[in-house]
Structure 1
Amino acid sequence: MFTNYVKIAWRTLRKQGGYTAINVIGLALGLACCLLITLYVVDELSYDRFNAKADRIYRLHSDIKFGGEVMNMAVTPDPLGPTLKQDYPQVEQFTRLHQQGTWSVSQAGTTSVIREDNITFADSTVFDVFTLPLLAGRYAGADPKRALAQPNSVVISEAAATRHFGSQNPIGQTLLFNKMPYKVTALMRDMPTNSHFRADFLLAMSSDDYQWGQWVSNNHHTYVVLRPGVDADAFARNLDAVAEKYVGPQILSFLGSTMAQFRQANNRFAFTMMPLTDIHLHSKQTIQLAPVGDIRYVYIFSAVALFILLIAGINFMNLATARSANRAKEVGVRKVLGSGQGQLLNQFMTESVLTTAMAMLLAVGLVAAALPLFNDIAAKQLTFRRLITPFWLVMLPVVPLVVGLLAGVYPAIFLSSYRPIAVLKGKIIARSGGALLSSARLRSGLVVFQFMMSVLLIIGTIVVYRQMRYIQTKNLGFNREQMLVVNGTDGLGKQTETFRQVVLQLPGVVNGTVSGYLPTPSNRSNTSFFPEGQIEPQKAVSMQNWSVDYDYVKTMGMQLVQGRDFSRSFGADSSGIILNETAAKLFGGKAIIGKRIAVYADVVNKLTKSYTVIGVVKNFNYESLRQEVGALALILQGSTGSISFRLNGSSNVAALVSQIEANWKRLAPGQAFSYAFLDDNFDQMYRTEQRVGTLTLVFSVLAVLIACLGLFGLAAYTAEQRTKEIGVRKVLGASVTSVVALLSQDFLKLVLIAIVIASPVAWWAMHRWLADFAYRVDIEWWVFALAGVLAVGIALLTVSVQSIKAALVNPVKSLRSE
């Protein structure tokens, strides 16, 4: 019997080729979107779960409020990990990571230098905490416990080994990191992409040039492994006691106040911890090892996948019922010949499942074709092979079965409920008038739901793109356009200033500055400043402390609102300081020029250094626009790292970069030349939002397209039901325009209802999203109006196709059956 159902279903689908094609394409698009988003969501949720001890690993954080600043950081003092391991038996192991910036790396005895980013100092226990396999085979014999035990030892990844050694065995070879030699002791597999940090070089922590033992300096990412069975929440309550016992004395030494007095001044210094598997999606801390994701986007895309799948299923239902008039006599004949409602149900459900199976095959093909583009947009490395797993091999046949049954059950019941005698007399009547009424209401409700989701996505897309546009055009307090940043100036050595002067002579170069600090987000820490002679918690101001040269403010296009810039004409400017408006306000506002402020130059020996405020620079955004501009100080002090050149807007940038590179190679032979543009560095902060905006746009278009297929089906159904009415109206003189308006108005009412429902929901959702930005656009009324106009226009265009077709039918043909 089942074989017979399949044969009849196949013949029916082939006979109704156009109807079948629309159904299959609509379902395939919905299923393909759902598969892509599911791959994305599964990847986001998989971060760090490859670690064997992932369920017992926790990262420690420092939550500090001091000097007017609130700092929730992913870094801690360097002694925290060893102290916890020593004082608490619940801690099985700890490790620390101290990430470095971009370094020049070369093989000893060669002149070829490569600029490397993923360089991290790590404790030798890093392999006890994280699952970072060392390669076997010809590199066998490496002991994870000893790989980083000795100073100046380094473990490198496969990719790094290929870059620096090719096919040679790297074990025992020497690499120079900023000209400091390190011996390669082991080779590790490349870290998985679904890790919250990435390291190509793990350097022995014992070689880190750091002032150890500072409980008030936070620079290390610290992880602990709790023993099996330990209650993490109960253990976390010990962290307050650790802060009291170890941080308290240093605060007393540093500020002259006890921890209790420190807290009474509305300050805070506490340690917290987070499960390793929560870091990628739930961490809001600053100073991350790498950019993290956001659980809200997982929720958003999961909802989008569900909605698109629902829209596709709704289309199937609407298209099936739209064809009901054409199949009514078939049902009548089958019932007269003895078919029961159960047999008809089985027949129609078989057609539904077969349709969804065909759609799933097409969807898998669409996923394979779209995956490279999706990876490019979403910044992922998903592969089609991920679908060839036991989980997916079970889900791929199950999904069309479930979707087919759910989407086909209503049309099957509806079609199988026709009264055979009435149908054969030319009347389409279900077993009860209420059934017809309820089916009409259901179809209308489904259309409202489809377009409600579509309007939500349209409004969301408009708001995201407006915010991204606002970020790109906002006056940030400095000029990031036409700013070329040459990285790695440590490779120039003593030739740094010579290189700057040579480049300044090139036509098209306006100005240049040497600095390790750029007004783009970076893992920088704050320093506490005090009014001179008033070192106490209530007087402290926690702020950024940037070392710059004489030309920094001018080159960056910053604006002074009080005082003056650093000048070579003033020999005492080495003890001068420029504050931004936020810092000036904290220190006394407009009467700040000439005031003296101090900072600890050596915390251990309690040595301070004083500066005279010579100027106030207008606030500029050096962090993400999600944050208010914090306090910042500019100090005249030598600092390397990069050289920034202001270029003339009319210059040939490509030719100019070639000339700059030629001068670099002449002054720093063998050193890698690396550059970027400041506006590109700034845009990188918002790559996640840009990707979300692009993906939202794509899925919005697809959702609207799929919804239009459903509306098309409902319009076809309505036109079939009202064929004779249209004929009568035309005989009585109705024009084509009036008939089209008659058939369209009911659908437009449904779309307007969808807009009314979707608008407040969209306002609430986007208001929540924008709340993450300290500087953001307003959600104005025209956004909803534009979304509504687009939805109405799309719906009208879709319905008009069927309405015009019905209106142009010869009325004689419509009425000849009467």
Structure 2
Amino acid sequence: MSGNERGTIKSRHVATRNDFFVISTKPISMLRNYAKIAVRNIWKHRLFSIINVFGLASGLMICLLAIAHIKGAFDYDNFHPKRNQIYRVLTDVTTKENDRTAFASSPLPLAATLKTYSFVENTARVVRTYGEVSANTKKMNFLTFAVDPSFYQLFGYRIVAGNAATRPGTAMVSQKTAEKLFGRKNPIGQVLDQDGIGHSIITGVLANVESRSHLRFEILISVSEDIMARFDADKDWNEFSTGYTYALLKPGTAAAQLEHVLPELSRTAKTNLRGDGIKDYSFRAQPLSGISPSTEELMNGTYEPQTSGLSAEMGVGLVTLLMAAFNYINLTLARSMSRAREIGIRKTSGALRWQLVGQFMAESVLLSLLALALAFVMLEMVRPMQFVQQWLIAGVAWDWKLWSVFIAFSILVGLLAGLVPARVLSGFQPAEVLRSRTGLKIIRGISFRKALIVAQFSISLIAMVALVTMMRQQHYMATADYGFQSKNVINIPLNGVPFERLANEIDKLAGVEHVSGIVQPFGHHGPTMQVKSGQNDSNPVVAFQFDVAPDFVKTLGLSLVAGKELLNTAGTANLVIVNEEAVRKLNLGDSRSAVGKSVWLQDSTEVQIAGVVKDFRFTSFVWEIKPLILRPQISGVRYLQAAVASGTNANVEASIKGIWAKLSPYEPFEGQWYDDFLYEHHSHADDLHFMALLLGISFSIACLGLLGMVTYNTQTRVKEVGIRKVLGAKIAQIIWLLSRDFVKLLAIAAAIALPLGYVAGYAFLASFAYHVSIGFETLGLCFGLLLFLGSLIITTRTFKVASGNPVDALANE
């Protein structure tokens, strides 16, 4: 065979092996070849592939949660059969300073006026009501609304028992409310009573409304026109913040017809406009399908999610995903030398640049699809978390549309993550590869890959400082000294059991030191009212008022600085105990001189100050100490509180449960120790667990990226290490040689992140009147953990290379 023939055969053989790059232009064949090569490269570099798949899966999982929540936001109120015909009327208010504010509410007389138009089929009003609800010998607070009987003709909330309350004087309750009030009893036909509303007969039970609706409620009371009119006594269109107005248009009616009449109604309504600082107001219609997600901040808004919050959630997911993409870019470019030789050979064989880009993009998309599968597994693991269930995926329909979005999103992520390495690596020229000119620089010698590592650890460290700050603040609120006794005190919701009867039984128990009661336990919020130092005082003070039982001061260990404790109910109807802040705000002088003076409560009741207690923190830590009024009024007590001797908790609790079983055999015992109540109420454990998960994912991605970089760096310097060891270098010197660049990167990340994390932490703490400080205990802990993890990764990988046999390292030289 001649030399020319051998050359021809050889060239044909090369063309055949590389027909993927040169000959084949059929899409199916080309994609098949892309997939084969991608699988081989992924399998060949398994460590880097695992790092990339885990990182992308973590970011995808968070993005999938955000996407599911966003999808759920668009599903709000889709279950109403007439949703396309329903519109809510908004009110735009302009002040005399020309500041515009949008209200989700509107004047109550608007509904009757709209009903006179021929294109309006019906209207309904929804008004928030306040006050305790009495039923089945119980008095409890619920989320209650007064509605027109026509409400059920507009909306389609699911009824699980009974019938819709379509007559005045009837009511609907949610399943949870029915259980709280009536236990296992049938709620249909039972009577509710709320102050200002009167008696209402329950005609049906609604499915619990926790998500997928902008309206959330526990009780709906259908009221007459007379009762609805009480919420707007003026009836002259000046009160636009009381309730919500909904209009049901007749089938086939365009929304433009409603929009056309609203300006006319607003012009008529504002002819007698009066209001402090109000210059003008107008109405506009909002379709029910457009309420969620809300694109604007509305006063008196309902429960629809805001686009700003959804954007923030998606932003967290994208930042996490971006860190994973950094890893992919980083590790791919780190292997640029070996891939560059591959590219040089393929280009010499005739491959076009777009074909090389396609190969790298195929690898990236395949990794992203593998990551999607892992992300689904991770999603199933976090789905049971209460935070995820309550705030992210509650009520979301996981249908084929959502999964199509997931798949499309993961493919898009793969394409975007592979774009930079594909363009960079496919642009190498064979001549440059032979001269090793593959360095990728940004500015002043800082490599792109190092910048990505700094960015990853900076983001993780900022998140860590912010999260540790939040955790410390939550723990502080859950365990801090509020100024009253919370240890060895038990709170017992009365749930209809007479206070005196239960108190008498508990007071007889061994170990019980004091028994009292309160309308609502300290440590969160409470009822407020206006208090005046004089009957004609024009500057009332807003104070918190708690109805309490006798012996309250001793039960909670409060410090009485002046006056006396109220030990019984005789002659105490017009006596109150106040705190020092109330004395200051009411200008009553010092504590001693305030005793015996009169103040006037919001309902014009004159009461006399019997005692003054030392200031303590009885509300949320968001506020500074506020004025406090303790009024002895057993009729308002909803919780019994018992202080017990140390070491007797278990015995006393068991005895109280026995007493409760006799007095209320059909109601569960819900007593809770006060310190446990404060801890559960303020620790927000579910929220912190989810945020800790995000932080763990963030740090895992960053650490895996560092692991991949260190591994590749040590692998490429094996022969250099062997030569240095032959020349006498010690293991510690070699470890430092291989590690110092990465340690510098961690130090740079800390220098960037710690100040930013400090600012982020204080931005969170700014909303609290009482909060922890951000000092060395926070910044030092976060930096120490960063340095420990980074050093552990760096040292373990470099020690393996540094302690190796130089003969093995130089064997192939």
TM-score by length of 2: 0.78
Query: In the alignment, is residue 311 of structure 1 matched against residue 335 of structure 2?
Result: no
Match of 2:252 in 1: none
Q: Helix, strand or coil: the match of 2:383?
A: helix
1:443 to 449, 452, 456: 449
Find the aligned partners of 2:296 and 2:427 in 1 and give their Cα distance: 52
Deviations 1:320-346 (A, max 9, x none): 233344444433433333323332222
1:316 and 1:407 in contact (8 A); partners too: yes
Task: Report the secondary structure of 2:635's partner residue.
Answer: coil
Contact 1:94 1:222 in 2 (8 A): yes
Secondary structure class of the residue paired with 1:577: strand
TM-aligned CA deviation for residue 626 of structure 1:
1.0
The whole-number CA distance in structure 1 between the counterparts of 2:317 and 2:594 is 56
Secondary structure, counterpart of 1:547 in structure 2: strand
Task: Indicate the residue corresponding to 2:22 in structure 1.
Answer: none
Quote how far apart the aligned CAs of 1:446 are: 0.6
| SS at structure 2 position matched to 1:490 | coil
Residue range with higher mean Cα deviation, 502-511 or 723-732? 723-732
Residues 1-33 of structure 1: CA deviation (Å, up to 9, x unaligned): 221221222233234334333322222222223
Q: Per the alignment, do residues 411 and 134 of structure 1 end up closer, same or farther by CA in structure 2, a change over 3 Å counting?
A: closer
- Aligned partners of 2:59 and 2:318 also within 8 Å: no
Q: In structure 2, give the amino acid aligned to 1:26.
A: G
Q: Secondary structure at the match of 1:154?
A: strand
Q: Counterpart of 2:43 in structure 1: which amino acid?
A: R
Aligned to 1:504: 507
Paired with 2:797 and 2:359, the residues of 1 have a C-alpha distance of 29
**Matched residue SS, 1:740:** helix
Confirm or deny: 8 A CA contact 2:524 2:618 kept in the other structure. Answer: yes
Aligned to 1:678: 674
Let me know the Cα RMSD of the aligned residues. Answer: 4.8
Indicate which of 624, 630, 636 corresponds to 2:626.
Answer: 630
Partner of 1:662: 658
Q: Which amino acid aligns with 2:611?
A: G
One-letter amino acid of the counterpart of residue 220, structure 2:
L
CA change 1:668–1:330 in 2 (3 A) is closer
Secondary structure at the counterpart of residue 467 of structure 2: helix
Which residue pairs with 1:191 in the alignment? 209
Q: Which moved more, 1:619-628 or 1:32-41?
A: 32-41
What is the letter of the counterpart of residue 749 of structure 1? K
Q: 1:508-587 maps to which residues of 2 (within 5 A)?
A: 508-522=511-525, 524-526=527-529, 528-532=530-534, 534-537=535-538, 539-568=539-568, 572-587=571-586
Match of 2:393 among 382, 401, 410: 382
Cα separation, 2, equivalents of 1:335 and 1:666: 89
The residue correspondences of 1:342-353 to structure 2 (distance < 5 A) are 342-353=354-365
Deviation at 1:621, TM superposition (A): 2.9
| 2:190 corresponding residue in structure 1 | 175
User: Structure 2 stretches of 5 or more lacking a match?
Assistant: 1-29, 94-100, 249-254
* 1:401, distance to aligned residue in structure 2 (A): 2.0
Post-superposition shift, 1:396?
Answer: 2.2
Q: 1:31 maps to which residue?
A: 60
Aligned to 2:698: 703
- Counterparts in 2 of 1:201-212, with a 5 A limit? 201-205=219-223, 212=230
Deviation at 1:208, TM superposition (A): 12
Secondary structure (helix, strand or coil) at the match of 2:785 reads helix
Give, in whole Å, the separation in 1 of the partners of 2:440 and 2:578. 76
1:309 Cα deviation after fit: 0.2
- Which is further off, 478-487 or 464-473? 478-487
Aligned length, in residue pairs = 748
User: Which stretch shifts more, 176-185 or 765-774?
Assistant: 176-185
CA distance in 2, matches of 1:166, 1:808: 71
Aligned-partner residue type, residue 597 of structure 1: V
Residue 377 of structure 1 deviates from its aligned partner by: 6.2
Shift in Å, 1:639: 2.2
In structure 2, relative to structure 1, the CA distance for the partners of 1:543 and 1:469 (3 Å cut) is same
State the TM-score, normalized to the length of structure 1. 0.78
* Alpha-carbon separation, structure 2, partners of 1:758 and 1:440: 18
- For residue 641 of structure 2, the aligned residue among 640, 645, 659 is 645
Q: 1:131 aligns with which of 155, 160, 163?
A: 155
Q: Aligned partner of 1:787: which letter? A: C
2-structure distance, mates of 1:572, 1:209? 37
Contact 1:57 / 1:129 at 8 angstroms: preserved in 2? no
Whether contact under 8 Å (1:712, 1:798) holds in the other structure is yes
Deviation at 1:584, TM superposition (A): 0.6
3-state SS of paired residue (2:482): coil
Which structure 1 residue ranges, 5 or more long, are not aligned? 63-71, 106-112, 249-258, 264-269, 602-607
Q: Could you tell me how far apart the structure 1 residues matched to 2:647 and 2:749 are? A: 52
* Shift in CA distance, 512/400, structure 1 to aligned 2, threshold 3 Å: same
Measure the CA separation in 1 of the matches of 2:32 and 2:318. 32
Question: Are 2:490 and 1:487 aligned?
Answer: no
Q: Which residue of 2 aligns with 1:155?
A: 172
Residues of 2 paired with 1:810 and 1:332: CA distance? 33
Aligned-residue sequence identity (percent) comes to: 25
Decide whether aligned partners of structure 1 residues 208 and 755 sit closer, same or farther in structure 2, where only a CA change above 3 A counts.
Answer: farther
Write out per-residue CA displacement over residues 352-408 of structure 1, whole angstroms, 9 at most, x where no aligned residue.
211111111221122123311x33566447379744341x23322222322222222
CA contact (8 A) 1:513 1:549 kept: yes
1:57 alignment partner in structure 2: 88
Q: CA deviation at 1:545?
A: 3.0
Does the aligned pair in 2 maintain the 1:96–1:126 contact within 8 Å? no
Q: Output the amino acid matched with 2:190.
A: L
Whether 1:4 aligns to 2:25 is no
CA contact (8 A) 1:157 1:201 kept: yes
Map 1:212-231; keep pairs closer than 5 Å.
212=230, 222-225=243-246
2:600: which partner in 1? 598
Q: For 1:236 and 1:682, locate their aligned partners in 2 and report how far apart those are by CA, in whole Å.
A: 51
Corresponding residue SS for 1:486:
strand
Does the 8 A contact of 2:563 with 2:612 survive in 1? yes
| SS in structure 2 at match of 1:733 | coil
Does the 8 Å contact 1:490/1:641 carry over to 2?
Answer: no
Is this contact kept in 1: 2:526–2:544, CA < 8 A?
no
Q: CA deviation at 1:769?
A: 1.4
| Preserved contact between residue 108 and residue 244 of structure 2 (Cα < 8 Å) | no
